[in-house]
Amino acid sequence: MATTVSPLAPAGFPTLPPVAGVRIATANSGIRYKGRDDLMLAVLDEGTTVAGVLTKSLTCSAPVIWCRDSLPRGSARAVVVNAGNANAFTGKAGDATVQATVEAAARIAGCATDEVYVASTGVIGIPLAADAIAKVLPGMVPALKNDSAALEAGARAIMTTDTFAKGSTRQVAIGGTTVTISGFAKGSGMIAPDMATMLGFLFTDAAIAAPALQSMLSEFTERSFNAITVDGDTSTSDTLLLFATGKAGNAPVTDARAPELTDFRKALEEVMLDLALQIVRDGEGATKFVSITLVGAENDVAAKRIALTVANSPLVKTALAGEDANWGRIVAAIGRAGERADRDLIKITIGGTLICAEGMEVPGYDEAPVAAHMKGQEIDVHIDLGIGTGKSRVWTCDLTHGYIDINGSYRS
């Protein structure tokens, strides 16, 4: 966990209203970090439903495999998350650690092991003792609390190279009953999600069936966590879980498109996007927050692929870091994205200034306002391909020497 906070960070951690049916405690596991908590335990009331999206990486962690196998049950009673060791590419030893962890948590919650969810983040390829986490959990039980401080502590305990804790919340009504959504996430590097976030945990006291939760989570992930990139690297451990305790007292909802969920859907997507953008703002070594809007593509899939190609281009990202209005690098990224594009139809605008159109730089182009825009912390890039109705918006950051410094010494 870094000591210097990102210059793009929000003013502070928000006050997250506690969610009825969720108790959280944190502790130091002794696995890697000293002087800080790196282990979170959440115990959920009986009747809690769950949804999740997980990395598609073929070298995913043992916790990801466990969650993937458990999600079809649709119910959850506990969550255990550790930072400092990803428990990925750890073979049978990794499986044994997960098994011991879920058994210990199940005894605490009084539930089946497949109602326990686990996630790990940190160094890849270092096996843990089977009881490395399990032996710490019983001592955390007296500290379990349902309050805002516990939620913030949970957000801080799961951090690795993050420079600030990331939280978000909303309160809306379902059928006249007020419900709360509070959640937190971690992520700073190895950020190019594939059907998930880095690590993210969302809690609501709404009564919503697991299939409806899953439908909403999967849909909104595509426009939030799957629309951000820091460095183009997908983690082995990407896990996003949404838990609904049902304690608010609303009439249970089984259809994700039910009219009574209109406000809830909006609020859930807002929380997810807020957390995703905080992750970009905490990109390792980042000094610029970059929004890329692409319209006029052949279809939405093509639009997103091209936008992400621009967002992941090291040449584009280093130009942003150097405050160099080198729009030719954007042109090059568009051309190699593998989707349809026509030189003479492309228009590129940065900070509201049109730079190129009709296959070349616009007559009388003045780079001064673009250069001035590049010196700010918030950079806006708009690309119009002019060939269709496809559109997408993605977010990224610049690539500075700070990224090399952080990752070159990550294990030391």
Angle among Cα 303, 217, 11 to the nearest 5 degrees reads: 85
Secondary structure of residue 45 in the 3-state scheme = coil
* Calpha distance 119→98 (Å, rounded): 9
User: Is 284 labelled a binding residue?
Assistant: yes
Nearby residues of 409 by Cβ (< 8 Å), 6 or more positions away: none
Q: Largest Cα–Cα distance of the chain, in whole Å?
A: 72
* Calpha distance 1→33 (Å, rounded): 9
* Calpha distance 235→35 (Å, rounded): 26
* Calpha distance 174→345 (Å, rounded): 46
Nearby residues of 99 by Cβ (< 8 Å), 6 or more positions away: 113, 130
Which helix or strand (DSSP H or E) is residue 173 part of? strand 166-174
Is the torsion defined by CA of 135, 139, 143, 146 positive or negative? positive
User: Is 197 labelled a binding residue?
Assistant: yes
Q: Between the CA of residue 408 and those of 49, 105, 404, what are the distances in Å? A: 41, 36, 6
Catalytic residue among 197, 229, 239, 349: 197
* Calpha distance 288→268 (Å, rounded): 26
Edge-to-edge strand ranges of the sheet holding 22-27? 22-27, 39-44, 78-85, 116-123
4 flagged as catalytic: no
* 8 A C-beta contact, residue 62 and residue 94: yes
Q: Which ranges constitute the DSSP H helices of 4-76?
A: 62-70
User: Is 146 labelled a binding residue?
Assistant: no
* Calpha distance 48→87 (Å, rounded): 26
Edge-to-edge strand ranges of the sheet holding 289-297? 360-361, 353-357, 347-350, 378-384, 289-297, 390-397
User: Is 407 labelled a binding residue?
Assistant: yes
* Calpha distance 157→396 (Å, rounded): 25
User: Is 312 labelled a binding residue?
Assistant: no
Q: Read out DSSP for 322-365? A: TT---THHHHHHHHTSSS---GGG-EEEETTEEEEETTEEPTT-
Binding-site residue positions for substrate: 160, 186, 197, 284, 407, 412
Residues contributing to the annotated binding site: 160, 186, 197, 284, 407, 412
Residues with active-site annotation: 197
